[in-house]
A and B are shown apart, each in its own frame.
Chain A
Amino acid sequence: MNLKPVEDRGGTARVSGVLLRQFTLRHWRGQPLRALLLVLLLSLGVAVFLSIRLANRAAVASFTNFASVLSTQADATIGAPAGLLPDSVLETLRQNMAVKGTDISAGMELIPIVEVVCAPPRSGEDGGIGARGSFTLIGVDLVALQNFAADQKMERRWFEEASQADEQNGGGALGRLLGRRNAVYCSGKLAAKEGLRVGSLLVLVVNDQPVSLEIAGIIPGRSDQPESPAGLLVMDLPALQELSGKVGLLDRIECLFPKGARQGASRDALLTRLRAAVGEAGSVRTGESRLAAAELMTRGFRLNLTILSLLALLVGLYLIFQALDAAVVRRRSEIAVLRALGVRGSEVRRAWLWEAALLGVAGGAVGVLGGWALAQGTVRAVSQTVNSLYYANNTEAAGLHPGEAAGAFLLAVGCSVLAGWFPAKRAAATPPAQLWAQGAGPGGAEADSALRTWVGCGLLFGAVGLAFCSPLTFSGGSRFALGGYLSAFFGVIGAGILAGDSLRLVAWLAARFSRHSAPRQLAQSHLRVPTSRHRWAAAGLLCAVSMTGGMSVLVGSFERSVSEWIAHLLQADVYLTSDSNQAATAYNRISSSSWRKITSDPAVSDWDAMLLVPVEFGGGSIRVAGTSLDFYQRRRQFSWLKEPLSAEVFDRKQNEGRCVVSESFAERFRVGRGARIRLPTPKGERALEIEGIYTDYGDDQGIVMVERGHLQEWFGTSAVSSLSLVLKAGEDPEAVRAQMRASHPGLAVFTNVHLRGEVMRIFRQTFAITYALEAIGVAVALAGLGITLASILAERRAELTTLRALGMSRTGIAGVAAWEGAILALGGTAGGLISSLGLGALLIFVINKQTFGWTLQPAIPLRALLLLGVVVPVSGAAVAWVVGRYGAELPSDVTK
C-alpha cells in the first residue's frame, strides 16, 4: 500500500469549524434535552430582561405620543415653567415669528394645547386608586389644524375621514365637534373596548364634577404614526378650556417647523428665535428633550427594574459557565485525543467559544421572542406603577423594538461567550492523551482553589470600596448609583466564587448526621472535596438567594419606613380629592365653593387643604405643595429629618419667604437647611429659604412645601387638590364618608383606615413585579442545580454500577442524589442568606439613597428570609431526587 504524503492546508478557523460540526453539534444531538434546557434557561433570562426593557420603553413612549396622533411629532413645545400659559403668549408668538419673505419660519405652525388627565366615575364600591385607569383629554384648535392640514397629506386625511364620519352620522364637517361643549373624538381602541359609537355618551370626572361627553367620532389610524392610545380623547380647545376651568390658559403650545427647517442649522436658528420670542413667559423644549424629561423622571425606577431583570440572566450565566465547564470534564478524554492527533490548543479554545456563542445565539433568538410575549404582561405592571408614581398612561401593549431586540440578542451572545471563556481556556489546556492517561487531566478539583479564593476575596474587598463611591449626576439632578450597582455585582460574584467553601462546612456538618445512612454518607462524601460543578451550582443558588434576600431586606425596610411615615402623615379622619386623580400627573382640583362647603360641615372640627402644582426647577420637574404648615405641625404630620430651628415657618404671617422640602428634593438638588432657592411662579420667581427637611416616600422627584395661601396667590387660584378633615368627637368617619360621597359624586372620599390600606396596597403593587423577577431567578438557579446533578450522575456511571451491584435500590440511589442536592442547596442558600444582609444594606444605604434620596429604617424580614432558607433547600432536594431517579436508570458503565 502506498499513500502519498498529504499537504497541510489547515487553518485554525477551519479546524475549529470542523470541531464544532463534528463534535459540539453531535454532542448536542446526543443529549438534546440537556441542550434544550440550557437554551431555554438562557432564553428565560434574556426574555425577562427584554420584556422589562420593552415595557419600560412603552411606558415612556406613552408620555409623548398623545399629541403626535393629531399632528406630526412636534419639533418644539412651549410650556410655562410654573402653572399655565396665558392665551396671549400665542398671539405674541405669532406676531414675533411673523413670516417675512424667505424667512425660515415661513410655514411654521403653532398648535395650542390644553390637556386634562381624568378618570371615569366610580361605580358602586370602587376598586383602589388607579384601578379605573386614566383618560387624557387633549384640547386642540381644530380650525387652525384644519387649515394647516391643507399642506399635510396625513392630517388632511384625518379631517376628511372625520368629516365623512360626521356626514354619515348626519352632521356637518366636523360640526359635531367644533363649538360643541362636550363633544369628543375617541381612539379606535377605546371605542372597541367600551363599545362606543358616534353619539354614545362617556361620563368622566373633570376636577370635582362628573361630565357627560358625547362621542363625535373615532380618531382615524395613521400608518406612519403609532396607534392612538386607548385613553386619548380629543376636544375642541375652547370647549375643554371651559370644561376644565382653564379659560384663557394653555398647557402648552406645540410648534411644527417647516419641512426645510426640521434639522440642522435652520432648526437651531428657529429654536433660538422661538426662545427669544417667548422670553420669560415660557420655556421651549424640543421633541427630544420632552422625551428625555419623561426618561429622566422614571430613570431610577426603570433602571432598578432593568437591573433586577438581569438576575435571571446572571444566574443563567452561571449555568452556561457550569454546563460548559462540565462539558470540558465530560469530554476531556476526547479533547486529549484531539490534542494527540495534532489539534492545537487555540483551535480547541476557539471551538469551545463557538459552542458558547451558539448557545447564546439560540438562547438569544428564543429569548427575544419570549421577551416580546412576556412584555405584553409586564407592560401592565410597569404602566400601573408609572401611572401611580410619575405620569398618566394606559399602556397595554409593548412593541418589539428592533434596537432593544438586537441589544438583548447581543447581550445573550456576549454573556454566553464570556461565561464560556474560562471553560474554553481549561479545554485548551487539556494535555494530549498520552499525558492525560497518566493523570495529568485539566485542573483537579483543588488545582486552582488558592487563585479562586484570592479572586473571591478580591471581589468582595472591591465591592466594599465601590459602595463608598459617589453617584453619577445627570442634568436635572437625577443620579445613578453606579458604584453601588458595581459593588452589588462584585459582591454577588465574589461571594459566589467563595460559595464552594461553604459546601465543605455543610458537608462536614451533614457528616455528623449521616453515620448510619448509606445514601447520606455517600452524598456528603461527594462534597467533602467539591468539584468545580458543585461549586458553580452553589454559586448560582447563592447569587439568586442573595439577590432575592437582599430585595426582601430592602422591601421590608421600605415597608417599615412607609408604615411609620403614613402613621405620622395620616392623622386626620377623612380625606378628599378629585375622583379623577388616578395618576400622578392628574392635577384635578376641588373648586373653592366645594371645599369651603365641605370644611364648613358641622361634623368637621379641624381641616387642612392642600394645593399641589408641578413646576420646573433645576432643569427637571418637581412639585410644590401649598398647605397649612401650622395644621401639619399641630397634627404632627411631618416626619422630620431636619426640623426647623424656629417656629416662624409655621406662622402664616411670617412664612412667605420660607419653605420646607422633602428629602428627595434635598438629595436631588444637593441643598440643605438654610439654603435659598428661587422658585418659578406665574407671578415671577419667589426666593425661599429652606427651613426644614422631611421624609416623603410618596414622591422621588422632590416636593417644596409652602403656606397654601401664598401658593394660591402666586398661581392665581382658590381651588385646592385635596382636603384633610378632622371630625368632631363622636362623629363616625364612615358615615361622614358616605354622606360626602353622596353629596359630591366627583370626589373620592377616604377614611383614615381606607387611605392607609390604599397606600400600602399601592406600595405592594409597586413591588409585585420585583417578586416575580426574583422567583424566576430562583427557579433558574434550581433548574441549574438539576442540570448539574444530572451531568455529575452521568459521569458517575461506574459508581452507579457498583452501587447497583452492592444492592442499592433505585430509591436509595435517588436518595444519594437528593441528599447531595440538599447539601448543595443548603450551602448556596446559607451563603446567599448571609450575603443578602450585606446586599440589603447596600440597597438601603447606598443604591436607594443615591437613586431616590430616601432614608429607610432598616428591617430584617425574618419570615421571608426563613421561608427562602427552607423553600430553596427543600426544592433543591426535590429536584435532585427526580434527577437521582433518572440517574438510577442510566445504563451501566462499560469501559471500552
Chain B
Amino acid sequence: MSRKYDLSPVLRDVSLRLFSGERLALTGPSGSGKTTLLNCLGGIDRPDSGSVLIGGEDLTRIDGEELAMLRRRKIGNVFQFFHLLPTLSVRENVEFPLLLLGVAPAQRRERAGSLLERVKMGHRAEALPSRLSGGEMQRCAIARALVHSPRVILADEPTGNLDSVNSANILELLQELSGEMETALVLVTHSEEAARICQREVRMRDGVLEEVRG
C-alpha cells in the first residue's frame, strides 16, 4: 500500500504479511511513517492505493461504520498513554469490548476475571483507573485489548510511558498472552528490548519498509 499527505509520500509501496500468533516489531525514526502504517492496519486511516486484509476482510472496501464493527471484533489496541475509560472500574474496562459485542453478563465476567488474574490485576478489579499506577493501567489495557480474542493487537509504544521494571513486565505479558491466544501482534517501538520479544522486526525509513530480522 501507499499513502500520501499533502502530496508527500508517507508510505511507499509497503507490503507486509502477518500470521496468527506472530509478533512483529515495527521500528524506525520519528516521522518515518510507523504510526501511519499502524493506523492503516487498524482501519483508522486508508491507504491511497493497495489493500489491507484482516482474516480475508479488506479494510479498504468497507465504510466507516463497518470499520468500527471490524475494530470491535478483530482488533485490540494498546496505547502509550493507556487510555482507560476513567468512569469505569478495571473490571468494567476489561469487560467493555465484550459488552459492545453483546456477550452475556456471566460470560463477560468470567472472561474478564480470568484475564485480570492472568495480568495479576484481579485484586484491583473494582478500582477506578485514577487509583492505578502506570504499570497497573497498562496491564489492565492489555487485558482489555485481548478480552475479545482479536485477530491482531496493535500496540503503539506500549512501554513508552513506563519505567524499566514495569516495561519489562508489560513486554513479558504481551509476549506470553499473544502466544497463548495465537493473536498477531504489531508492536511499534523505539526500544530494542521491546523489539526483542518479537520474532520479526521491520524498520520503517522514509516510508519504505525494510526487513531487519526474522
> B-contacting residues of A (Cβ < 8 Å)?
1-11, 14-15, 18, 22-23, 26-27, 30, 333-334, 336-346, 431-435, 437-438, 896
Contacts and interface: CB of A to CB of B under 8 A. Distances in A.
B101 A8 contact: yes
Contacts of B39: 434-435
A431 B98 CA distance: 21
Interface of B: 35, 38-39, 42, 44-45, 64-65, 68-73, 75, 77, 79, 81-88, 92, 96-103, 107, 111, 114-115, 118, 129-130, 134, 137, 144, 146-149, 156, 177, 180-181
Nearest to B75: A342
A340 B83 contact: yes
Given A342-B73, A431-B44, A896 B87 contact: no
B149 A345 contact: no
17 contacts: A2-B181, A3-B111, A3-B146, A9-B103, A10-B100, A15-B100, A22-B92, A334-B85, A334-B87, A339-B68, A340-B83, A341-B72, A342-B69, A343-B68, A435-B39, A435-B45, A896-B130
A235 B39 CA distance: 89
B174 to A, nearest CB: 13
Contacts of A337: 83-85
Contacts of A434: 35, 38-39, 42, 44, 77, 79, 156
A4 B150 CA distance: 10
A121 B148 CA distance: 86
A343 B68 CA distance: 6
Given A10-B102, A23-B85, A896-B134, A344 B181 contact: no
Contact of A341 (B45, B96, B156): B96
A35 to B, nearest CB: 14
B159 to A, nearest CB: 15
A69 to B, nearest CB: 59
B213 to A, nearest CB: 26
Nearest to A10: B102
A4 B183 CA distance: 12
Given A337-B83, A345-B64, A6 B149 contact: yes
Contact of B72 (A23, A27, A334, A342): A342
A10 B45 contact: no
B130 A433 contact: no
Given A27-B87, A434-B44, 18 more contacts: A1-B177, A3-B114, A6-B98, A6-B149, A8-B69, A8-B101, A10-B102, A23-B87, A30-B87, A334-B86, A338-B85, A342-B68, A342-B100, A343-B72, A345-B65, A433-B77, A896-B129, A896-B134
A8 B81 CA distance: 28
A4 B149 contact: yes
A341 B71 contact: yes
A432 B81 contact: no
A437 B79 CA distance: 10
Contacts, number: 125
A829 to B, nearest CB: 38
A14 B102 contact: yes
B82 A3 contact: no
Contacts of A22: 87-88, 92, 96, 99
A896 B82 contact: yes
Contacts of A1: 114-115, 118, 177, 180-181
A393 to B, nearest CB: 54
Given A23-B87, A342-B75, A18 B99 contact: yes
B121 to A, nearest CB: 14
Contacts of A342: 68-73, 75, 97, 100
A9 B108 CA distance: 13
A892 to B, nearest CB: 13
Contacts of A2: 180-181
Nearest to A4: B149
Q: Which 4 A-B pairs have the closest CB atoms?
A: A342-B72, A9-B102, A342-B71, A26-B87
A346 B72 contact: no
Given A23-B85, A343-B100, A10 B72 contact: yes
A887 to B, nearest CB: 20
B103 A6 contact: yes
Contacts of A433: 77, 79, 83
A55 B7 CA distance: 67
A5 B146 CA distance: 10
Nearest to A12: B65
Given A4-B149, A6-B103, A435-B44, A340 B77 contact: yes
Question: A26, A341, A344, A437: which has the most chain B beta carbons within 10 Å?
Answer: A341
A510 to B, nearest CB: 36
Contacts of B42: 340, 432, 434
B92 A340 contact: no
Contacts of A344: 64-65, 68-69
A23 B65 CA distance: 21
Nearest to A339: B68
B100 A11 contact: no
Contacts of B70: 342
Contacts of A896: 81-82, 129-130, 134, 137
B115 A9 contact: no
A48 B129 CA distance: 43
A837 B99 CA distance: 56
Contacts of B129: 896
A426 to B, nearest CB: 16
A341 B97 contact: yes
B87 A9 contact: no
Contacts of B118: 1
A823 B192 CA distance: 53
A431 B67 CA distance: 12
Nearest to B154: A434
A3 B83 contact: no
A7 B101 contact: yes
Nearest to B92: A22
A26 B156 CA distance: 29
Contacts of B71: 340-342, 432
A431 B85 CA distance: 16
Contacts of A7: 101-102
Contacts of A30: 87
Contacts of A431: 44
Nearest to B137: A896
A573 B134 CA distance: 90
B148 to A, nearest CB: 5
Nearest to B45: A435
Nearest to B145: A341
A794 to B, nearest CB: 14
B102 A3 contact: no
Contacts of A5: 148-149
Contacts of B177: 1
Contacts of A437: 79, 81
B130 A8 contact: no
A22 B118 CA distance: 25
Contacts of B65: 344-346
B155 to A, nearest CB: 11
A340 B150 CA distance: 13
A438 B82 CA distance: 15
Contacts of B101: 6-10
Nearest to B73: A8
B86 to A, nearest CB: 7
B35 A438 contact: yes
A347 to B, nearest CB: 8
